[in-house]
Structure 1
């Protein structure tokens, strides 16, 4: 993983006010004044070593948990090819998918509030254990009503993992480093698609074992895997930095200094309803949600319908399971590549717009191509664009929202509001679609293009508004209108990203 400097990453050419908190001495030492640890002095070598350790302690377990969550929510697409629909007389597959997202949207904000009131090593493994049990139950349902109920509770239990994981990242990493780690989570989602396809292919041969069909074993075995991992996660998921036993006092002081230099204090803040109110009254938070709303339509319809789309090309169920692997693997590589380039040039929104345009090209090819090869290639174009765009946009609240309760709430709001796009998407991927035949999902693909257009519009609006606000603050500071030095630490925390020395990442 890339090591980065502990700067606040103001707009290019702007030193902003980071020098007030972060100073490099002639000898190469970095000196930062922190409220909790006093003056902290450390070297670049120490910092790089610490970042590597944080990456090792924090990222792998959260990546694995998110991979499992995406596997357990999307494996119903693989199960459908193995006889789920016929066995339980499922007449409305799209509504079964919708029930998951209804639970997901309802649970987002409450789940992150609970996280703020408890701790990551308690709350995140507990969520994982609960949805693992529900996933196993999903493999035992006998009728449509049972599946609807299980999908709802699966969504409810999974809802807190992703925003909770991103919030944990925001406690360890300065702003400029976060999107790269969030991209890793989304690349895990892409990897889960490839991994799920291989698993489904192998488990499908268990049809008849124990009197159960292949679809049942797919859901049961993958749910059991989640349960096993969740039990070990209680000892592996990291606590907040200053409470973690994985870091020495020296390392904790450097973490605090890096966060202070980023103008985003590390000291754990108590839960505050004012922070929740700030998130719900911040127009930028709604734009982050609208941005994900546009992309979520495509993200989940791809993950839930790809096996069916490939089977429609004329392949057997088993071969269709395997043919989902290459597009997901390419999406994994592309997501990490774009995340790295975005990190190097320190730009987000232009790449999000570019990824949306790439995905739109894929959908156009899917609609227009008269050949099986052309329609399969179209999946290779659309899938990387959708996954890479989501990886970048889902990090925006963690980078641009300050104040821990506000940030936790904003992350949950983005996912909750965005997943309303998922609800719309799975309802519009039907054959027929109302009175329309919708062959090969042509109309549905066209609607995915429309929703990606919403995403492009939201990204463009954010680019304009955030850049304008950065320029306004630059001008005010250039005129000497600094915030009064008498503002105490609590007031600084309360102001959060509304502080004059805060700069938004665009």
Structure 2
């Protein structure tokens, strides 16, 4: 196929679109309507993975709702011991991220994603029958291990179905399930809390049991509704499948028959940009998980009853869900990533400043509650955009799978730190936790700015390079002179 070389006069974003591996196919030649086909892909692929991630985030964060319903009292845990349980989840979560994506690439998403969903559903259910602190610690660790394969796996799956320019919006929609889970978590915890005493169990136990059983059932159904790789899926006609392959071949490496090799994993580990993508998420994951894990406690500390605090967690999450989608649409329309991540982080910074400067939160709870809205409105959209970067910028299937796993691993080290910051004796102001989260969001702006400069410089360097024989023939991943990075 004819290869295209991007001229130095093109803007970086136009260069991204022009730097195809091959010629762009005409959908008319395949007898398909591209818009209708993309809509068909969205309706078949996205609802299933969004549902699984909603369950995943719900099952990891419902411990915050369970705490308000007496979890720590019944298990005879101190506040610091409870925090240790939260930390152990993320220790398990980050331990196998890269390995999980390697397994995904080898056995396929249709088998892997439902299987791990059933696994963590079983573990979630078992949380409802623990009777000791030691049991709680073990369960949280195993839950983290079981859930660790979902997010990077789905991001890689989407990168195998959609063109680069289409991925950010889909990944953002997928991640919006995280904030949606927060809203559902509050509603469910409020209702399930009234089951206290049923079967001799506390309300917090029923939160885990019922939500875990729901996850198991939906995970089993996932063997039917989760899609496989494009070459194996059966919901497309022959012409549609051929066109999907052709458009991906012209856009990226998604159709390459790339055999797994550890050297491609090492390419990821040796690439500084892959580590920077991880730092982008690292500086966001601490605020993300401290908010999702401690928001019920933060609101309850303002003077609200436990049941009311559960309900008051819902509106900030609803706002975060809406803004996550809005930012994705606007960012895609303007073909800009870094500026929207930085701006969104700035909104979160304003929220933590409001929380820290309210010296009497129990007397002025409305001020702190307003700050919570700013925090949620800033954190969730920034995370969604930041997590989409490797899927758009890393080429080479195994390298991209490893980069997605690496980003989650490096990123969630921030969550490990964050789980130790909101201690009971810091209530109601939580100065330590809010201050560190504020500092992390400031650091996020710096990291995003540095990555923006590096990617922009690399694109300009490639734009200015003379055309040579190296600009055609075998594809060399994101080191290829035809590749342009999004920023």
TM-score, length-scaled by structure 1: 0.91
Aligned to 1:90: 77
Q: 1:303 aligns with which of 282, 288, 292?
A: 292
- Are 1:375 and 2:368 an aligned pair? yes
Q: Tell me, yes or no, if the aligned pair for 1:16 and 1:474 is still in contact at 8 Å.
A: no
Looking at structure 2, the residues matched to 176 and 459 of structure 1 have their Cα atoms a distance apart, in angstroms, of: 19
Gaps of 5+ in 2: 1-5
Shift of 1:30: 5.2
- Let me know the Cα RMSD of the aligned residues: 1.7
Aligned to 1:243: 232
Aligned to 1:217: 206
Structure ranking higher on relative contact order (CA contacts 8 Å, 6+ apart): 2
Looking at structure 1, the residues matched to 45 and 11 of structure 2 have their Cα atoms a distance apart, in angstroms, of: 26
- Quickly say closer, same or farther: Cα 1:423–1:141, change in 2 above 3 A: same
SS state at 2:77 partner: coil
Aligned to 2:12: 11
Q: 1:129 aligns with which of 118, 122, 134?
A: 118
Shift of 1:431: 3.5
Shift of 1:265: 4.0
- Map of 1:69-80 to 2, 5 A cutoff? 69-80=56-67
- Are 1:388 and 2:381 an aligned pair? yes
Q: Tell me, yes or no, if the aligned pair for 2:125 and 2:208 is still in contact at 8 Å.
A: yes
Aligned to 2:88: 99
Gaps of 5+ in 1: 1-7, 32-40
- Are 1:260 and 2:241 an aligned pair? no
Q: Tell me, yes or no, if the aligned pair for 2:301 and 2:428 is still in contact at 8 Å.
A: no
Looking at structure 2, the residues matched to 174 and 228 of structure 1 have their Cα atoms a distance apart, in angstroms, of: 32
Q: 1:312 aligns with which of 287, 301, 307?
A: 301
- Quickly say closer, same or farther: Cα 1:20–1:365, change in 2 above 3 A: closer
Looking at structure 2, the residues matched to 366 and 377 of structure 1 have their Cα atoms a distance apart, in angstroms, of: 8
Shift of 1:107: 1.8
Looking at structure 2, the residues matched to 166 and 212 of structure 1 have their Cα atoms a distance apart, in angstroms, of: 38
Q: Tell me, yes or no, if the aligned pair for 2:27 and 2:243 is still in contact at 8 Å.
A: no
SS state at 2:405 partner: helix
- Are 1:189 and 2:178 an aligned pair? yes
- Are 1:499 and 2:486 an aligned pair? no
- Map of 1:20-39 to 2, 5 A cutoff? 21-23=22-24, 29=26
Looking at structure 2, the residues matched to 17 and 455 of structure 1 have their Cα atoms a distance apart, in angstroms, of: 30
Q: Tell me, yes or no, if the aligned pair for 2:37 and 2:240 is still in contact at 8 Å.
A: yes
- Quickly say closer, same or farther: Cα 1:195–1:268, change in 2 above 3 A: farther
Shift of 1:454: 2.1
The count of aligned residue pairs is 473
Looking at structure 1, the residues matched to 234 and 262 of structure 2 have their Cα atoms a distance apart, in angstroms, of: 29
TM-score, length-scaled by structure 2: 0.94
Looking at structure 1, the residues matched to 17 and 207 of structure 2 have their Cα atoms a distance apart, in angstroms, of: 53
Aligned to 1:401: 394
Aligned to 2:404: 411
Q: Tell me, yes or no, if the aligned pair for 1:17 and 1:501 is still in contact at 8 Å.
A: no
